Amino acid sequence: MKAVVTGGAGFLGQHLSFELEQAGHEVVVIDLAVSRWHDLRFPEIVEGVFKEHSDADVCVHLAAKVGRLFGEEEPMETITDNVGMTALVAQACGKHKIRLAYASTSEVYGDNGEKPCDEEKGPWTLPHNLYGISKLFGEDVCRHYAPDGLTIFRFSMPYGPGLPAGRGRAAIINMLHQALHDKQIPVHKGAERSWCYVTDTVRAVRMVLEQTKGGAFNIGRDDAAVPMMLVAELACELADARPGLIEEIPAPRMQTVVKRLSTEKIRSLGWKPEVDLIEGMVKTMEWVVTLDEQGAVAA
């Protein structure tokens, strides 16, 4: 299988590219970090890329503006990247008859409390942040332009080496980084998550691409829900942090406090998670110690 991976130099992109290559597949990475001629917001660049790789079997479209906070602060960029750019990529995939695999998010389900969300049955409420809205719109755009074999990945809580720390970034990375640098760790009251280590995440993606002909798939865990207070405590333990860093605060508006997903579809393919939370946090801490105090990769 030849796969074009947009956003292939990003967090999920790097891990997925490695996973696919290790399984014997050919990978083409398209990412602005690689070349300014990979800016998929321009129609002529998109057409050039997909004309050059028209023999590809699949395009995994990961390139996007990610995150609730960034979505609200940068609404124009969020819509441009998650809807406009997706439309161009989907249009090109449809034209060149390349199977499209679109990276969506569990945020498209909205906030359903304790009810587990199934890919087809829901339950569904309206997404309550622009990021979720933009990704749900992106799903419809993909169905419009590239319906044949369309695969939709609704990612939930991936984490691991390669993620930066800082405002708007993944909570688990930030907690490890804050504990390591003796900074206050805010924890949203009542927040609960099932975190999925990145190697488990990308293995699920590979298995879906290899074994199915399309459909929507939740990519994450449904068997490891933990309070974020416990995650913060584990972060402090791993960092040997001083007592008193953790502070419980109200969850912000437009935040999904509890997430519940059904993973029956990926488990039916033979997938099961292999890395538990403690092992995953230990592995991730090895990455976090390489970041500087601001959360970027140290020079």
For 10-42, how does the pLDDT look when each residue is reduced to its tens digit (9 = 90+)? Answer: 999 999 999 999 999 999 999 999 999 999 999
pLDDT for 282: 97
Contacts 24+ apart (CB under 8 A), 125-130: 128/254, 128/256, 129/68, 129/71, 129/72, 129/254, 129/255, 130/71, 130/72, 130/75, 130/78, 130/79
Residue 269 in contact with residue 208, Cβ under 8 Å?
A: yes
Sign of the Cα pseudo-torsion (55, 58, 63, 64, in order): positive
- Whether residue 283 is predicted with pLDDT greater than 80 in this model: the reply is yes
pLDDT for 299: 57
Give the tens place of pLDDT for each residue, 151-176: 999 999 999 999 889 888 889 999 99
Residue 298 within any structural domain of the chain: no
**Element (H or E) spanning 13, and its range?**
helix 11-22
Q: What is the phi/psi pair of residue 232, to 5°?
A: -60, -40
Amino acid present at 247 = E
Ramachandran class of 238: left when φ > 0, alpha when ψ lies in -120 to 50, beta otherwise: alpha
Residue 151 within any structural domain of the chain: yes
Residue 187 in contact with residue 36, Cβ under 8 Å?
A: no
Give the helix ranges, DSSP H, for 153-262: 171-180, 198-211, 228-239
Number of folded domains that form the chain: 1
The DSSP 8-state label assigned to residue 296 in this structure reads S
Show the domain range for 14.
2-288
Tokens (6 digits) for 95: 């034209």
Residue 59 within any structural domain of the chain: yes
pLDDT for 72: 86
Residue 253 within any structural domain of the chain: yes
Residue 230 within any structural domain of the chain: yes
CATH number of the domain bearing residue 111: 3.40.50.720
Give the closest residue to 102 by CA, choosing from 154, 50, 57: 154
Residue 299 within any structural domain of the chain: no
Task: Name the range with the highest mean pLDDT among 82-91, 162-171, 256-265.
Answer: 82-91
Cis amide prior to 75 (ω within 30 degrees)? no
Residue 293 within any structural domain of the chain: no
Amino acid present at 41 = R
Confidence of residue 298 (pLDDT cuts 50, 70, 90): low
Q: What is the phi/psi pair of residue 243, to 5°?
A: -65, 155
Residue 223 within any structural domain of the chain: yes
Ramachandran class of 126: left when φ > 0, alpha when ψ lies in -120 to 50, beta otherwise: beta
